[in-house]
Amino acid sequence: MAPQDAVLGWDEDTTAEAYAAFTHDFPMYGDTSRDLAHRAHLTDSRLVVDLCGGTGATAKAILALAPPGAHVISLDNAAAMQRIGRRTLTDPRLSWVTAPAEHVDHHAPAGQVDAVVCNSAIWKTDIAAVFAAARRVLRPGGRFVFNIGGGFAGVTHPDEQTGRTGPSLNTLIHQVAARDHGYTPPAADSKSPKLPLASVTEHLAAAGLDLVDTEVTAQHSTMAEKRAWLSIPVFARPAGDFTHAQRMEILKKAYAQTSPDAATVTSWLVTVTQRASRQP
């Protein structure tokens, strides 16, 4: 099953607007989308699915690499996100479908999709159901490419360690919340990763998808970008019984202890899979 918090808040205009503004102002989603699109091998593609496509950052990257005659389906469960995408990304090669990722096989023809790309969102889904549905829509040899945040996958790029010059913004947020609100932060690293590669590989095999390649990558950004990301309502911290206004006040105080240009690094586990070329 998908995590309980997977879709809560995403289908709200405030979140959608903040997410779209972040995507426009900062490079994270654009950079990761282009990386995944390159790995999907879109040169000869005719039909591509942008899974959990949000406001269209990944669809934009796919359209830039796919042939002129290719068609892209951007599928997402949050109508609020897609309303912005329809307004800001108009391309006759792009269709918007409001539906859960687990139902991708209801909206794309079986065995005819050249690639499925999912940026930053596979954790929000029931991966067993999504992998099986992706396999059904992919043509033999078609690729399913996605990434998983390092914290979810339990991986860390070396740059994340060597590039750190002080406490993370998340750590500072917890410290401010504890000081001002009596908040008790969760024990650091006390939980096992939610989506380790071993678990992902097991689900891929069960779905009939072959693991082609994995790579732990590093996304380099700044503290200012991290603050903007944590200002999006669904990402705001800390967890618990706080209003969004309280979280933003905590974020403001935590950010004041940093330098806007201080470097930050986020790790990603990038996974390339493929439907076997042989017929079942």
The DSSP 8-state label assigned to residue 66 in this structure reads S
Q: Check residue 81 and give its pLDDT.
A: 97
Q: Is the pTM of this model over 0.85?
A: yes
Q: What's the gap between Cα 190 and its chain centre?
A: 23
Cis, bond preceding 233 (omega within 30 deg of 0): no
The conformational region for residue 96 under phi > 0 = left, psi -120 to 50 = alpha, else beta, is: beta
Q: What is the pLDDT of residues 37-77, one digit of tens each?
A: 999 999 999 999 999 999 999 999 999 999 999 999 999 99
| pLDDT for 187 beyond 90 | no
| pLDDT for 2 beyond 50 | no
Q: Does residue 190 sit in helix, strand or coil?
A: coil
Overall size of the chain counted in residues = 280
Half-sphere exposure of 41 (CA within 13 A, CB side): 10
Q: What are the start-end ranges of the E strands in the chain?
A: 47-51, 71-76, 94-98, 113-118, 138-149, 209-222, 263-275
Beta partners for residue 118, in sequence order: 51, 146
Where residue 277 falls among pLDDT bands split at 50, 70, 90? Answer: confident
77 contacts 100 by C-beta, under 8 angstroms: yes
| pLDDT for 279 beyond 70 | no
Q: Check residue 8 and give its pLDDT.
A: 62
* Residue position matching structure tokens 């934009």: 60
Where residue 234 falls among pLDDT bands split at 50, 70, 90? Answer: very high
Class of domain 13-158+190-221+266-275: alpha beta
Rg of the chain taking only CA atoms, in angstroms:
19
Q: Hey, where are the domains in the chain?
A: 13-158+190-221+266-275
Q: Tell me the average pLDDT of the chain.
A: 93
102-116: average pLDDT: 98
Q: Check residue 190 and give its pLDDT.
A: 52
Q: Check residue 186 and give its pLDDT.
A: 72
